[in-house]
Amino acid sequence: MILDKFKAYGWMLVAVALAALLAVQSVRLANAERDHAVAVGVFNASAARAEREARQLSEAYRTLENQNREQIAKIGAETSAAIAAADAGARRARAAHDSMQRDLADYIATHRRAAQARAAAGQCTPDTAALDLLADLQRRADTRAGELAAIADAARSRGTGCERAYDAGDALNEAGTPETP
C-alpha cells in the first residue's frame, strides 16, 4: 500500500512537473511570439521608412532629371535660334555678295565700254586682262570668305550649345545626391 501511495504521489509529482514544464514552455512561447511581433513591427516600420525615403529620393531625382531635360530643351531651342540667326546672316552676306558682284560686273562692263570707245577713237588698245584677273580673284575670295564665315558661325553656335548642355549635365552630376525631406 505504501508502495501504491508512493506510485500515486510519484505520478502526481510527474504530472505536476509536466504541468510546470508546460506552463514554462507556454510562457516561453508567449514571450517568443511577443518578441516576434515586436521584431515584425520594427521590420515593417523600417521597411516603410526605407520605402518612403526611396520614393522621396526617386521623386527628387525625377525632379532633377526634369529640370535637366527642360534646361537641355531650352539650350537646344536657343542653339537652333542662334543657328537660324547665323543662317540669316549668311543669307544677308550672300545677298550683299551678289549685289557687290553685280556692281563689279557693271563697273567692269562700263570700264570695257570706255576702253573700247577709247580704242575706237584711236587712243589706246584696251587691256582688260588685269581687271578681269582682279575681278575674278575678288569674286572667288569673297565667295570663299562667305562660305567659311557661314561654316564658322554655324560651328560656333553648335559648339556653344554643346558646351552649355555639357555644363548643365556637369552641374547636375556635381549636385550629387538630392536632399530628401
Query: pLDDT digit string (tens) for 110-167?
Result: 887 887 787 777 777 667 777 778 888 888 888 888 889 888 988 998 899 899 888 8
Distance between CA atoms of residues 70 and 58, nearest Å: 18
Yes or no: say if 146 and 90 are a contact pair by the CB < 8 Å rule. yes
Name the residue among 21, 19, 15 with its Cα closest to residue 7. 15
Torsional class of 27: left (φ above 0), alpha (ψ -120 to 50), beta (otherwise): alpha
Question: pLDDT band at residue 177, thresholds of 50, 70 and 90?
Answer: low
Residue owning grid cell 567659311: 148
pLDDT tens for each residue of 154-167: 899 889 989 988 88
pTM of the shown model: 0.59
Name the residue among 51, 47, 55, 71 with its Cα closest to residue 178. 55
